[in-house]
Amino acid sequence: MSHSDERRHAEAKLRVEELRSLIEHHRYRYHVLDDPDVSDAEYDDLMGELRALEDAFPELQTPDSPTRTIGGAPAALFAPVEHRARMLSLDNAFTFEELDAWARRVERGVGAGASFACELKIDGVACALTFEAGVLTRAATRGDGRTGEDITANVRTVEGVPRRLRLDDPPSVIEVRGEMYLPVAAFEDLNRRLDESGQRAFANPRNAAAGSLRQKDPRITASRPLRMWVHSFGAAEGVSFDSHLGFLAWAAGAGLPVAPTTEGRGSIEGVKEYLSYWQEHRHDVDWEIDGTVVKVDRTDLQRELGATSNAPRWAIAYKFPPEERTTLLRKIGVHTGRTGKVTPYAVLEPVLVGGVTVTYATLHNEDEVRRKDVRAKDTVIVRRAGDVIPEIVGPVVSKRPKGARRWKMPRTCPSCGTPLVRAPGEVDYRCPNKAGCPDQSVEWLFHFAGRGAMDIEGLGYVTVLALLERGLIADPGDIYVLTAEQLAGLDGFAEKSIANLLSAIEASKERPLWRLLVGLNIRHVGAHVAQVLARAFGSMDALAQASQDEIDAVPEIGPEIAAAVRAWSDEPDNLSLVEKLRASGVRTADERAEAGAKPLEGKTIVLTGGLATLSRDEATALAQKAGARVASGVSKKTDFVVAGESPGSKREKAAQLGVEIVGEEEFLRRLGGS
């Protein structure tokens, strides 16, 4: 290999590992927690990138890669069920070119002239129904494709799923597969009810369906109007089908729910007409669809084509592009954040975009609102592209009601009434009333206690708000003088929770300096900058005494940060806060390693999973600075593995090899040399 090839290979390897751990994380959230934090489109992008890299670098392929495995492990709530035949997934095509490429592969495999069954891709929960001698004996989720969860009792409550097939001579065994879903109207209705009773609403119909099926009490499942469409079959004894459409006709005749939207097409051009039609009309059906599925119709050809490790070669999902929807912009609100930055946001008539209900969308700043010229009562286009954050594309000007007025940034803070300021050259307005602005205080205290800063468990938003309202705290220093008697007056606080909170507060006094720096809410000082500063100065005192130039001279610290840090230290209020914290026993200095020491000198470490306070790049840079070599794979030579959130296979490998595994907290401690 040439030098540059070697580098490309090493880079690809790193990225492949990173993609795998990201994908595992998303799969876990999607399949096990029913609570994905990225859109399907974003997930698909990650998978696409991984597949492309594995194609380009075949030596990086592994049998446990997400490209060769399916979905998530079953959640341990219901009894496990071995599927008689594996439940496969589908490969995706996003463009007609990719569809053509698939059709060419099919043609190469079985010759020209195959006809196709075209279906809608139901965005629901895959489910396998086993009928023995015509009687529904078991219903299971897909799980990881081999083992799913037994949800028979719940599925028996689903309308339209027969408990007995309507056949005179039923086959001895037939495993029918399909998608459970919640009709869109029912989903909206359910969310309204959950909302009214103060419960958490579901992000989208798929989650609502999954959540409804995973109820321990089948009566709750029964109260949710779930439906099912059958789309394939697994094990079959005593019956066989010549074609997919033949199977569907048989299923409909047996009383199983079969979507009326499936159609046969004789050519790939015909298939494309079907796809284009449904892309335009996806909201004409009352269930969510995220694409269409094309299947080679004849089962003998299907058998000839076979399957890869996780998907049949005879079928492909054609995914729809990201979604845009229009909705009413009820009003434009403004919010003051913890740094005093005042951000306008749109309050929308709730609308389902790309599978997620959107009610709020940020409008970023005054210039952005002016540029888009969105106004209260406008109909606006909301987009949720391969991104989790919904965005307002702009108004539909033709639908603007008469008299809709241009929006103006308020002159005073919506929370405390202080006149807002916009510094020259900045886009944001700020509320300068740092100490007395209620919104800033809540956000700041919540941030101070949060996981990224002092990590005080039990001091969440609601508690912070209650403490502020009762005048028990005003700044972070007050947290450390709270007493059991004071907490006893709060709703929901009993002896145990009081003791827990007080001990969490006590424990936070020992946090490393960088966490305190993050909590102090200094402009531009996030986790990474805080760690750099903590390492360079070692204590609040040393930092406060440093001149702007000295701060600026620290590698990775630019003039803007240096100025902000210096300005912060010049505020007497800030210094008295540090004094107050110190007086209550909060650590304001790190036990220092020798200057310039490299606490991880000679160590080889591996990072896996997501860290709460650092990006992967930042963690790598800090580890390298501490003298460590950051390797991409675990071997016996690895000194320790840092396992963050959803760590993936590297953690398992480390456990197998007996390599030490440490969490984020410990990693940060080791970086600090203690």
Q: Is 121 an annotated catalytic residue?
A: yes
Stretch that binds ligand IVH, among 83-91, 394-402, 569-577, 626-634 (CB under 6 A): 83-91
Contact 446, 464 (CB under 8 A): yes
Residue 187 phi, psi (nearest 5): -65, -45
85-93, 201-209, 352-360, 630-638 -> range binding ligand IVH (CB under 6 A): 85-93
119 binds ligand IVH per the rule CB under 6 A:
yes
Least separation in angstroms between residue 90's CB and ligand IVH is 4
Contact 258, 230 (CB under 8 A): yes
Single residue of 182, 254, 305, 315 touching ligand IVH by CB under 6 A:
315
The distance of closest approach from Cβ of residue 383 to ligand IVH in the complex, given in angstroms and rounded to an integer, is 23
How far is the CA of 44 from the CAs of 57, 94, 320, 328, 646, in angstroms?
20, 10, 11, 30, 19
Antiparallel, parallel or unpaired: β 173-181 and 125-132: antiparallel
Task: Give the number of other Cβ atoms within 10 Å of residue 308's Cβ.
Answer: 12
Contact present, 34 and 40 (Cβ < 8 Å): no
Binding mask 168-207 for ligand IVH (x = CB under 6 A): -----------x----------------------------
> Is residue 126 a contact point for ligand IVH (CB under 6 A)?
yes
With both helix axes pointing from N to C terminus, report the angle between 461-469 and 438-449 in degrees, rounded to the nearest 10.
130
Among 103, 258, 317, 356, binds ligand IVH (CB under 6 A): 317
Minimum distance from CB of 125 to ligand IVH (Å)? Answer: 8
When the beta carbons of 317 and 562 are compared against ligand IVH, the nearer one is: 317
Q: Is 294 in the site for ligand IVH (CB under 6 A)?
A: no
Q: Is 563 exposed, middle or buried (0-12, 13-18, 19+ CB in 10 A)?
A: middle
Catalytic residue among 13, 121, 272, 637: 121
Asked if 122 interacts with ligand IVH (CB under 6 A), we say yes
Listed residue (73, 101, 210) closest to 155, CA to CA: 210
Work out how close the CB of 358 gets to ligand IVH at its nearest, in angstroms, rounded to a whole number. Answer: 24
Residue 158 binds to ligand IVH (criterion: CB under 6 A): no
DSSP assignment of 129-177, as one string? Answer: EEEETTEEEEEEE-TTSSEEEB-HHHHTTSTT--SB-S-SS--SEEEEE
Beta carbon nearer to ligand IVH, 31 or 121: 121
Nearer to ligand IVH, 92 or 327 (CB): 92
Q: Which of residues 31, 231, 313, 341 is near ligand IVH by CB under 6 A?
A: 231
428 binds ligand IVH (CB under 6 A): no
Angstrom distances, CA of residue 472 to CA of 11, 468, 479, 573: 53, 6, 8, 19
Give every CB contact of residue 382 below 8 A, 6+ residues apart in sequence: 324, 325, 326, 327, 348, 351, 353, 358, 361, 390, 391, 392, 393
Phi, psi angle pair for 283, to nearest 5°: -95, 5
Tell me the residue ranges of DSSP E strands in 337-487: 341-353, 356-362, 379-384, 391-395, 429-430
Dihedral, CA atoms, 8, 13, 18, 24, nearest 10 degrees? 140
**Interface with ligand IVH includes 90 (CB under 6 A)?**
yes
- Judged by CB under 6 A, the chain residues 347 through 376 that form the site for ligand IVH are none
Residues composing the chain: 674
Q: What would the x/- binding string for ligand IVH be over residues 389 to 408, using CB under 6 A?
A: --------------------
Task: Output the smallest distance, CB 92 to ligand IVH, in A.
Answer: 7
Q: Which of residues 61-80 bind ligand IVH (CB under 6 A)?
A: none
Amino acid at 649: S
Does 89 sit near ligand IVH (CB under 6 A)? yes
CB nearer ligand IVH, residue 126 or residue 296: 126
Q: Which of 293, 346, 562, 671 binds ligand IVH (CB under 6 A)?
A: 293
3-class secondary-structure state, position 421: strand
State in angstroms the smallest separation of the CB of 321 from ligand IVH. 16
Q: Does 327 bind ligand IVH (CB under 6 A)?
A: no
Token readout for 358 is 């959107």
- Contact string (CB under 6 A) for ligand IVH, positions 23-62, x = contact: ----------------------------------------
Catalytically active residues are 121
Q: Which residues bind ligand IVH (CB under 6 A)?
A: 88-90, 119, 121-122, 126, 179, 231-232, 293, 312, 315, 317
